[in-house]
Chain A
Amino acid sequence: MRLLYLIPLGLFLFFGGVAGYMLTQPKQTNIPSQMVEQELPEFSLSPALEDVPGTSRADFTDGKPKLLNIWASWCVPCIAEAPHLERLKREGVEIIGIAVRDRPEAVEGFLSRYGNPYTRIGADDISELMLAIGASGVPETYVIDGEGNIRYQHIGDVRADHVDLLLEKLEEAE
């Protein structure tokens, strides 16, 4: 019977221990999309720039895997990933850009300063496509296979050591 009194103390120590352990763990803020391994939803976005075409789901179903890059001219990490997207472009990867809540003049300014790795740029003024594919922030990069299925999601800016991983994922999607 005396042992029963130890239960509350044990529970307290258990919860205290869990709380203490969790405090020492880095905060996990990425929200993975549940749309990976599912079909890219139907969408159609008007061009974000006059001289670069907009994009729709049909652009992702020509048999060739592509990258879908969600970015914005107002997004600071997007500046950091620009040279790495440029390298992917040089490797022969087709990157289709989605400019989130962006103005044409701002998009143009960003691309003239940091380069344009995109073949098409759609304007997602009210996060329609972002919400449809489960993206929770900018930038995010998706590998889409030739049949229009989402195969991989990269959250945050693409860094130098992510380039090879993305190339690998594109090859897997072949």
Chain B
Amino acid sequence: MRLLTALLILLAAPLVAQSGMPPAPYAYTQLEDPALEAEATALMETLRCLKCQSQSIADSDAPMAGDMRHQVRSRLLAGESPDEVRDWLTQRYGDYVSYEPTVSATTWPLFAIPLLLLALVGLVLLRRLGRRGTDEDAEA
């Protein structure tokens, strides 16, 4: 009996932990237009969940992520473009909320450094291969 009670308490805990409110209309419901839903999904996969931090809102089951999915879907349905929805969120949460990399005053080195390294590698290779070529010429 005691074991049963303990089991029941374990089962009951998650119900108490969450608010028990029904999710927002478009949190778990897809849009009827498949093309629009595809746009919404693509956008949601690049928006960061604010509560769970390492998941996109498409991945997360947090209530807040559901509410964000509702915003995305209802805004697209109202005729906004995916970029407008992303901008609306970054105006509120900064770059934090977006997984899509953008070139800005703080992020440009991330894009510049690989190009710089590639150029360096190219230069070194060119010098080495070029030298070997002339060495062989000299031997012959």
Contacts and interface: CB of A to CB of B under 8 A. Distances in A.
A32 B50 CA distance: 11
A33 to B, nearest CB: 6
Contacts of A130: 64, 67
Interface residues of B, number: 26
Name the residue among B19, B27, B51, B70 with the largest chain A CB count within 10 angstroms: B19
B92 A127 contact: no
A72 interface: yes
A136 B51 CA distance: 7
B18 A131 contact: no
Contacts, number: 64
B92 A102 contact: no
Contact of A101 (B19, B25, B53, B68): B19
A133 interface: yes
Interface of A: 4, 29, 31-35, 72-74, 100-103, 106, 125-128, 130-134, 136-137
Interface string B19-31: 1110011010000
Contacts of B68: 127, 131
